[in-house]
C-alpha cells in the first residue's frame, strides 16, 4: 500500500480558534514580530517546536494515575530508570525537568573557562549553556551538512578529519568532552550514521576524550540508520538504539522529544566522579536524585513513552509524514533542506527570499509572513538565532532556515495539506517579503525574547 496511515486513533480533541489575517497582523505586531511572544490560542497550526508538544497515549495517561509522589525512592523513578537503561545502558542516571537542565548541570561540573566542546552542530540552549561557562562551542559537521540541496543520507555526520585537526590544534587538556547531536537539529534534522558515531568514538578514545550524545531525537535517528545504512535493515530499532549509546560515555536528553511527553529529561554517564558532582548539583538546583524536578506522574509517562517511541509502525509513520510535507513543498519549487529530516521540514529562507541579506534575517521575515498569511507558527533557525557572538559582534549564520517542527501524534494529514498550501501561496508572493531588524535583544538566546521590526 502506498498510503501510510496514522498507527493510532484520536481519543480526545482540542478546538482551534480560527482567525483572520487582520487579527493575526495585529497579534504579531503586538508580539513585536517575535513568534515566541504570541498567545498559543492565536495560532492555527503550531509548528514552533516539537519539544513538549506531543500528544500522549492512553497508556501514558493511565500511567499518570499510577505516579507515586514519594520525595525519595519513588517506585515511579525505578520504572523510569529501567526504561532508560534498557535503551541507554549507562551506569548513572540523573533525572531533570528538561534537556537544558541536564546540559546546565553537566557543563557546570565539567567545563572551565577557555575550554572547547566540539560537536557536529550545537543547538541553541546547548551552545548557550557551553558559553555560559566561558567555554567555546565548536561545530564540525561535514561539508554536505551545510549544503541544503545535497542528498547525502547522513548530513548530520561529524567531520572526522576536522575533529582530529581541532584536537591537535587546541590540545586534549582544553577539550574536556566531545558531543554529537542525533538528529542534527540545527542542520535540518539530519541523521548521524552508526559508522560516523563509531568513528567519532575512535577519535575520542585515541585522545582520551569522553563522548556524550545529545539524544533528544534518538529514535528518529535510529530509524534513519535502519532504512539508510547498509547492514541495519534487519536489526530492530531497539537494537540500533542500544548500539548507538554503547559508543558513548554519557548523554543529555530532553524527554519532551522522543520520549513523547510534555515535560522531562535526564543526564546519564559512566563517570562516577562526574555523576556524584552532577547529583549534588541536581539536589541544589532541581530536586532530589530520584525525582530531579519531575513528579512521579512525569516519570511514569516517560517510561511508557520510551517503549512507544521505538515501535516501528510509529516511526515509519512519523518519518513518512514529515517527508510528505517536504516533498509536496519541493514539488512546487519551494527550497527546502534535502533530504527531509525526521522531526521537521526546514525551508531554506536564504534561497526563498534571496533579496533579503542574511543580516536582515530572511528566516524571521518568512516565519512572520507564514503566520500572517495562514496562522502557522514556525521558528527561525539562522542568523537571528545564531549570528550574535559572545563578544557582541554579529555574523551571518551558515544557513538561514525556517523550521516547521511537527509535533508527534498531534496533527492530521489535512492540517499538513493546509500548511503546504499556505507555504505555496507565500512562495508565490515572496518578492514582497521585507528584511527585519532587532529593536531589542538580550545578550544570549536573543531569538526567544527579542523584539523585531521591519527594516525601513
C-alpha cell, 73: 525512592
User: What pLDDT is attached to residue 168?
Assistant: 97
Residue-wise pLDDT for 397-436, tens only, equals: 999 999 999 999 999 999 999 999 999 999 999 999 999 9
Phi-psi region of 131 (alpha: psi -120 to 50; beta: other; left: phi over 0): alpha
CATH topology of domain 58-309: 3.40.640
Mean pLDDT over 437-453 rounds to: 93
Confidence check: pLDDT of 214 > 80: yes
pLDDT one-digit tens code per residue, 90-117: 999 999 999 999 999 999 999 999 999 9
Centre a 10 Å sphere on the Cβ of residue 363 and count the other Cβ atoms it contains: 32
Taking the domains of the chain in order of start, what are their residue ranges?
21-50+311-454, 58-309
CA–CA dist 242, 85 (Å, integer)? 9
186 pLDDT tier (thresholds 50, 70, 90):
confident
**Look-up: residue for cell 559508543?**
247
Provide the 3-class DSSP secondary structure of residue 139.
strand
| pLDDT for the residue 189 | 92
pLDDT at position 391 over 90:
no
DSSP 289: T
Is the pLDDT reported for residue 1 higher than 80? no
Q: What is the pLDDT of residue 238?
A: 98
Q: Return the pLDDT at 390.
A: 87
For residue 443, pLDDT beyond 90: no
pTM of the model: 0.94
As a whole number, mean pLDDT of residues 176-189 equals: 93
CATH code assigned to 21-50+311-454: 3.90.1150.10
Residue among 254, 269, 259 at smallest CA distance from 96: 254
Read off the pLDDT of each residue in 30-42 and give the average, rounded to a whole number.
Answer: 98
Look at the block and give the residue holding cell 500522549.
56
pLDDT of residue 187: 85
What does the pLDDT look like over 109-159, one tens digit per residue?
999 999 999 999 999 899 999 999 999 999 999 999 999 999 999 999 999
Question: By percentage, how much of the chain surpasses pLDDT 70?
Answer: 100
In angstroms, the Cα distances linking 189 to 51, 67, 213, 357, 445 are: 13, 33, 15, 24, 20
Amino acid at each position: 500500500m502506498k498510503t501510510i496511515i496514522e498507527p493510532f486513533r484520536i481519543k480526545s480533541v482540542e478546538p482551534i480558534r480560527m482567525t483572520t489575517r487582520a487579527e493575526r497582523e495585529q497579534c504579531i505586531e503586538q508580539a513585536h514580530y517575535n513568534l515566541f511572544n504570541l498567545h498559543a490560542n492565536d495560532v492555527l497550526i503550531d509548528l514552533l517546536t516539537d519539544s513538549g508538544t506531543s500528544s500522549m497515549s492512553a497508556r501514558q495517561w493511565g500511567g499518570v494515575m499510577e505516579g507515586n509522589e514519594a520525595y525519595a525512592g519513588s517506585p515511579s523513578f525505578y520504572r523510569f530508570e529501567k526504561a532508560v537503561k534498557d535503551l541507554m545502558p549507562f551506569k548513572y542516571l540523573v533525572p531533570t525537568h528538561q534537556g537544558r537542565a541536564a546540559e546546565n548541570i553537566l557543563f557546570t561540573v565539567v567545563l572551565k573557562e577557555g575550554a572547547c566542546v566540539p560537536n557536529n552542530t550545537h543547538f541553541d540552549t546547548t551552545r548557550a549553556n557551553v558559553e555560559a561557562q566561558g567555554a567555546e562551542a565548536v561545530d564540525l559537521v561535514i561539508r554536505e551538512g551545510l549544503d541544503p540541496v545535497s542528498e547525502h543520507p547522513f548530513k548530520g555526520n561529524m567531520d572526522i578529519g576536522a575533529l582530529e585537526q581541532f584536537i591537535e590544534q587546541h590540545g586534549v587538556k582544553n577539550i574536556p568532552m566531545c558531543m554529537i547531536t542525533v538528529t542534527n537539529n540545527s542542520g535540518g534534522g539530519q541523521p548521524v550514521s552508526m559508522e560516523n558515531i563509531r568513528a567519532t568514538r575512535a577519535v575520542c578514545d585515541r585522545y582520551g576524550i569522553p563522548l556524550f550524545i545529545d539524544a533528544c531525537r534518538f529514535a528518529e535517528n535510529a530509524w534513519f540508520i535502519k532504512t539508510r545504512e547498509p547492514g541495519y535493515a534487519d536489526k530492530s530499532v531497539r537494537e540500533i538504539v542500544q548500539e548507538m549509546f554503547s559508543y558513548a560515555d554519557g548523554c543529555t536528553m530532553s524527554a519532551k522529544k522522543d520520549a513523547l511527553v510534555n515535560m522531562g529529561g535526564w543526564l546519564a554517564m559512566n563517570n562516577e566522579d562526574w555523576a556524584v558532582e552532577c547529583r549534588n548539583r541536581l539536589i541544589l538546583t532541581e530536586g532530589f536524585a530520584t525525582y530531579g524536578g519531575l513528579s512521579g506522574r512525569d516519570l511514569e509517562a516517560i517510561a511508557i513513552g520510551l517503549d512507544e517511541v521505538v515501535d516501528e509502525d510509529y516511526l515509519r509513520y512519523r518519518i513518512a509524514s514529515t517527508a510528505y510535507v517536504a516533498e509536496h513543498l519541493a514539488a512546487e519549487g519551494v527550497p527546502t533542506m534535502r533530504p527531509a529530516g525526521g522531526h521537521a521540514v526546514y525551508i531554506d529562507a536564504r534561497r526563498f527570499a534571496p533579496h533579503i541579506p542574511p543580516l536582515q534575517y530572511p528566516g524571521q521575515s518568512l516565519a512572520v509572513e507564514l503566520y500572517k498569511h495562514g496562522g502557522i507558527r514556525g521558528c527561525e533557525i539562522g542568523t537571528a538565532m545564531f549570528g550574535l557572538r559572545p563578544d557582541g559582534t554579529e555574523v551571518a549564520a551558515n544557513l538561514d532556515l525556517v523550521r516547521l517542527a511537527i509535533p508527534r501524534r498531534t496533527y492530521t494529514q489535512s492540517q499538513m495539506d493546509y500548511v503546504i498550501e499556505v507555504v505555496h501561496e507565500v512562495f508565490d508572493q515572496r518578492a514582497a517579503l521585507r528584511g527585519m531588524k532587532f529593536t531589542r535583544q538580550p545578550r544570549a538566546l536573543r531569538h526567544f525574547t527579542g523584539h523585531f521590526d521591519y527594516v525601513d
